Amino acid sequence: LVARMREFGTTVFAEMTALAVRTSSINLGQGFPDTDGPPAMLERAVAAIRDGLNQYPPGPGVPELRQAVAEHRKQHYGLDYDPDGEILVTVGATEALAASVLALCEPGDEVIVFEPYYDSYAAAISLAGAVRRPVTLRPVDGRFTFDPAELRAAVGPRTRAILVNSPHNPTGTVFTYDELAAIAAVVQEHDLVAVTDEVYEHLTYDGVEHIPLATLPGMRERTVMISSAGKTFSVTGWKTGWICAPRALVTAAQTVKQFLTFTSGAPWQLAVAHALREELPWVGGLRDELAGKRDRLMAGLTAAGFAVYRPAGTYFVQTDIRPLGFTDGLELARRLPELAGVVAIPTQVFYDRRELGRHFVRFAFCKKDEIIDEAVARLARLH
Ligand code: PMP
Ligand code: GLN
């Protein structure tokens, strides 16, 4: 294995899911729902396969999906993207992120990431031979946020891009307009490109609405906006994502994507096109359900003795384990199956400066109510 990839062993998600399977524990680690997406969308994928749409689709994605993404962007955010040249379908947000970073960064360039960051960011940056510069999200009055001065201080002469994930995994923070404006100011002052990971765009709660960075003044031209179907339509296994960006940036990402995967799975693309057009009411229902599950899990974790941060979006509750007398989240996550029959994600693995996240553990609530109830009943044994 090349030196620049040596720090990346098995992803924490694979490790923890394998641990859950091996120990028959409840898996509140890896974030995937345990119920299916809208039936008509599933039927579309089956029909696409039956109808013989089983060969290579066009490299940029099937026209129906690019058109549906363009309409969705316009309707929800007032953003105009030309389906012909400004939208690229990818193998999930993961490939979109990797292709974007590989297309943008020369070896030695720097990329700013908010830590804790989704694990694939660090790997994509290393694949490009680039260097990550973390800016830490810290809890202030129960909500994770950043210090704009720390963000400014992270910019140097080699900074090329900033990765922005909102709604944020794992903290559940949904960036406010003011936070996004602080990011936009830095991007514009230093002539950076923003790569935004908006896979939880529809999963926000308590009336909080997701604001895409590209909607801020001057930002559409500098933003590679990424999302995917996995979370919005409960099909994390379909790995269908997309990039919306100005033509030159999409062309750059597509040049890389051609040689990573060439194209993305055909039947899912047609089904997701249908979903973006017809199934947003279903997503509204999912969002209400998830808000209830969040409350259920938070109440249970609080009763079990965790200090709990209330997420405004995503599938996840970030907790502090210190009130239970534990100090190291990785150690606890590895012992949790034996202690309680539950699996969770130690947030410290998403930090460059692990000590800043040592005492955090993330639990997923995208699970059936009875699963959440059983998990919190088991976790109550911890104290
Ligand atoms: N970004 C974040 C923040 C995520 O939580 C995930 C996991 N779904 C991804 C990207 C990857 O998305 P996809 O499955 O569409 O590749
Ligand atoms: N995005 C999901 C999470 O954060 C799962 C990602 C994965 O398995 N790679 O839990």
Per-residue pLDDT at 68: 98
Q: What is the DSSP string of 117-156?
A: --HHHHHHHHHTT-EEEEEE-EEETTEEE--HHHHHHH--
Among 278, 306, 340, the domain-final residue is 278
Residue 191 Cα to ligand 2 midpoint, Å, equals 31
- How many structural domains does the chain have? 2
Among 256, 278, 300, the domain-final residue is 278
Quote the CA–CA distance of 216 and 195 in Å, as a whole number: 14
Atom number in ligand 2 closest to CA 199: 1
Residue 206 DSSP code:
T
Residue 167 DSSP code:
S
| Residue 383 clears pLDDT 90, i.e. is over it | no
Q: Is the CB of 30 under 6 A from ligand 2?
A: yes
3-state DSSP assignment of residue 265 = coil
Same domain assignment for residues 215 and 291: no
Q: What is the mean pLDDT of the chain?
A: 97
The separation between CA 105 and the C-alpha centre of its own chain, rounded to angstroms, equals 21
Quote the CA–CA distance of 320 and 342 in Å, as a whole number: 16
Same domain assignment for residues 228 and 254: yes
Same domain assignment for residues 182 and 67: yes
Q: Is the CB of 201 under 6 A from ligand 1?
A: no
The answer to whether 89 and 61 are in contact (CB under 8 A) is yes
| Residue 9 clears pLDDT 90, i.e. is over it | no
Per-residue pLDDT tens digits for 176-214? 999 999 999 999 999 999 999 999 999 999 999 999 999
Per-residue pLDDT tens digits for 281-311? 999 999 999 999 999 999 999 999 999 999 9
Of residues 58, 67, 64, the one with CA closest to residue 86: 67
Same domain assignment for residues 272 and 285: no
Atom number in ligand 2 closest to CA 170: 4
Find the distance separating the first CA and the last CA of the chain, reported in whole Å: 43
Q: Is the CB of 264 under 6 A from ligand 1?
A: no
**Cβ count near 251 (within 10 Å):** 15
Residue 166 DSSP code:
S
In this structure, what is the dihedral angle of CA atoms 87, 90, 93, 94, given to the nearest 10 degrees? -140
Quote the CA–CA distance of 362 and 2 in Å, as a whole number: 31
Quote the CA–CA distance of 193 and 190 in Å, as a whole number: 9
Give the pLDDT band of residue 39 (cuts 50, 70, 90).
very high
Cβ-proximal residues to 362 (8 Å cutoff; 6+ apart), any chain: 29, 170, 316, 317, 318, 319, 344, 345, 346, 347
Same domain assignment for residues 242 and 300: no
Same domain assignment for residues 226 and 352: no
Residue 199 Cα to ligand 1 midpoint, Å, equals 6
Among 225, 246, 278, the domain-final residue is 278
pTM for the model: 0.98
Helix ranges restricted to H, 37-129:
39-50, 63-77, 92-104, 119-127
Per-residue pLDDT tens digits for 105-133? 999 999 999 999 999 999 999 999 999 99
Residue 42 lies in a domain: no
Cβ-proximal residues to 349 (8 Å cutoff; 6+ apart), any chain: 12, 119, 330
**Cβ count near 273 (within 10 Å):** 26
Per-residue pLDDT tens digits for 55-92? 999 999 999 999 999 999 999 999 999 999 999 999 99
Residue 169 Cα to ligand 2 midpoint, Å, equals 9
Share of the chain above pLDDT 90, in %: 99
Residue 214 DSSP code:
G
Q: Is the CB of 169 under 6 A from ligand 2?
A: yes
Residue 45 lies in a domain: no
Counting ligands in written order, the one closest to the CA of 113 is: 1
Residue 94 Cα to ligand 2 midpoint, Å, equals 10
Domain that holds residue 73: 55-278
The answer to whether 275 and 228 are in contact (CB under 8 A) is no
Residue 138: phi and psi, rounded to 5, are -125, 150
Per-residue pLDDT at 94: 98
Give the pLDDT band of residue 135 (cuts 50, 70, 90).
very high
Same domain assignment for residues 12 and 152: no
Same domain assignment for residues 138 and 248: yes
